[in-house]
Amino acid sequence: ELKVEQNPLFLSMQEGKNYTIYCNYSTTSDRLYWYRQDPGKSLESLFVLLSNGAVKQEGRLMASLDTKARLSTLHITAAVHDLSATYFCAVDPYNAGNMLTFGGGTRLMVKP
Amino acid sequence: SAVISQKPSRDICQRGTSLTIQCQVDSQVTMMFWYRQQPGQSLTLIATANQGSEATYESGFVIDKFPISRPNLTFSTLTVSNMSPEDSSIYLCSVGRTDTQYFGPGTRLTVL
């Protein structure tokens, strides 16, 4: 059974600080997704990582994938309040771009 | 991207009743997916819906409880049958397109 573990599950940080969210998974996969969810909202796709060593950046967020270590990271640079949300990683065990297994989510709160 | 709509957006239902959730996509897709997000939790895949065949259910989900229809390539329904308070969740449909999986806005179900 595929397991996807995120840590931390909850993160409270000050504006301007840097931090990393980790996503470990238990089976081989070359596809990993990061999503953002605001309270009461659906999921917004942030990054799609499709190969070992993939790195993608958008604004203050940068995601990377190490398929050998079965690890993805989501790095936050100089956090701002607007980044407060829950972040999910999800693994595609069939490398087909469809059925996903989600991590438990990281609830991020950025304090002014 | 994909434009996905769901109806209803939310509902409050009595235990023992059933609710059918509709999902409409802006263009044809082979597979549609139904996920459940229990309060404060991550997402769990319920089933995969293919047009012209029976849905494929994940472990822990059965057709009698969550019957799914897929009458054409842009539409699917999920029924939550004989509801109990434990079924209170957000139900999301999802489709894959260009290596990304997109999610509908969700249906927030409360069972009293």
C-beta of residue A46 within 8 angstroms of C-beta of residue A58: yes
φ and ψ of A83, to 5 deg: -80, -5
- By C-alpha distance, the chain A residue nearest B46 is A99
For domain A4-111, give the CATH superfamily.
Immunoglobulins (2.60.40.10)
- By C-alpha distance, the chain A residue nearest B95 is A98
* pLDDT tens digits for range B5-34: 999 999 999 999 999 999 999 999 989 999
Amino acid at B81: S
- How close B94 comes to chain A (CA, Å)? 9
- How close B100 comes to chain A (CA, Å)? 6
Share of chain A above pLDDT 70, in %: 99
Q: Supply the pLDDT for residue A97.
A: 65
Closest Cα to residue B38, out of B84, B7, B6, B79?
B84
C-beta of residue B93 within 8 angstroms of C-beta of residue B103: yes
- How far apart CA B60 and CA B12 sit, in angstroms, is 24
When pLDDT is cut at 50, 70 and 90, the band that residue A98 belongs to is confident
φ and ψ of B87, to 5 deg: -85, -5
Domain ranges, ordered by start, for chain B: 7-107
For domain B7-107, give the CATH superfamily.
Immunoglobulins (2.60.40.10)
C-alpha A77 chain-centroid distance: 14
Chain B residues with CB under 8 Å of A104 CB are 41-42
* pLDDT tens digits for range A22-57: 999 998 888 899 999 999 899 999 999 988 889 999
